[in-house]
Structure 1
């Protein structure tokens, strides 16, 4: 998408929004309409300094997440048509409202449904908004959940990608259905607009009506020998030579004894959800991941030239797919489940269930660490996707 002007992106975004509107109209059997002003939430006093914006209840506090952090929701379905809303005032109001929470950790839920060609802010407004939400607002934002994302979101992401830091990008989590919020938030506390709930139900109904395809869902993976999370204490005890205290707990407490006892505000602020998941993944894989990568590289160096070239071409593409997992939901682990047995054949015929785990781990490492594993060997005239 290089070389495209802001006008081109604006037109592309407009096209995608109109597609969304058409799909939603087909899904719901009627045209998209704007929500009423009150929306069933607490009434806003006419003396509110931003009454002209606040009365729409676009932004509202909806309880806590699973770690006790305040959750603030932004509902696009409550945005009135652009000619009825001063977007500069909207930005000022957003900052005014967030100022009440940004001194402590907080999370944001963005309900995308309801954004359309009539109420969407311009790209220049979005750019100025991102710049005005400086470090004060981004520092303690621990997660940004985007519910019901569409291709419009992908376009916006591509526009802002050069501006967004890697650290902030890791805080963005895409959720296709409202039920996915249950893994992160106290769902029963959420004040979800009825329009969003109906849209979610329509999406689920449509999904159920889709014809079955030949693509098989990968079977659930048994726990790794080094699994630390999602398993019982008894499992950890058996895998750690009878130790009663789980290794991750021992390592964490040991580190805090050495480094954290005098740290101001210890435990007051929590890490981002993405960082927590990455650490859990490393523990589940064993802390010898770098050694595994080195061994993988040595194994591949023994392959004949053409076999290596073909494998490198495929894994390069799968790595590219995994990099877009926020949209396609195919992480390196998921891809390994699909491709593992197609790339490694057992000399004894049908592999046993126990061999699936090491095969999938091996292919998953090739996909996830592709740049490191394949960087040390090239082949004449090699082609990459």
Structure 2
């Protein structure tokens, strides 16, 4: 992480947990090869913002040159990435620095791009943050106003310094290109401002967005939030509620209940939708997700393996490589999800639906490039864990 102007903000996740989509994860129907754009990391999917929404990061400095095949693929590539998330609320952070003559799309391309992204893409984007905007960029936006709805225009926010992003997201969650960090440092120094590391503070009793090891050291192998929520949800009355983990809770209720948790006070629930939303949010807000990123390649091998090989492969290549102190929590969660899946006839939440909900929660922050295929691999693994948890965690 680069250096930033001093700005201390206690982490807050103050709004909604999104309602999860239960369609199969899409891949480009044309099977188009986007490998060069993937390697360039033009787009990254990384964590959640402080309202609990997925964050999509786009870096102009990684755009392909105009005369390349990848430039002509760029729009289709962006759409393929967004298709995974656009059914739910999401935020976009766009780093404009590094946008130069060789990789600058034409005005016609930008107009076509806006028109190509139909209502489903625009409806659920809740915030579009442009970092280090230039006068040229603002002029282009003004020229496009006749083609842009007033409602969509209200979602745009210009940010002139990286430190200002900490109002919306934890800076350690997003991959900021080095040249963007260097540009920001140079700009601050030229203005006589000191650049300091991001020193976002965490309140002593905070439960959300806290390192799992810190919580385990203080609270034991099962941290307070998942332990209390799962205990509440395990009652027969709650576990059978239709749409549990799918239905959205009140934004105000989520904010207020999270605040009570973070103050170290007792939390009482009287219905299952709010705690189920908070459970997803708690896992998604972990600075490092519970399943480590180095397991992704092993996941791919597991998914490709025959059914009689999968359990041994999961134990040998994934479970054995996880932090031992994190295993009790994963076992506790997966065992609970298995019980939820057993009540599918009542709650309509079988293992495929639960895997789609909890795949991003358990692996979200570690996706190396937000690859489309990676999402499907992760969800398939979570489904297998739920279906065979007794043999895997025996």
Give the TM interval when normalised to the shorter protein. Answer: 0.3 to 0.5
TM-score normalised per structure 2: 0.41
Task: Give the greater-gyration-radius structure (CA).
Answer: 1
Of structures 1 and 2, the one with the larger relative CO (CA 8 A, separation 6+) is 2
TM-score normalised per structure 1: 0.42
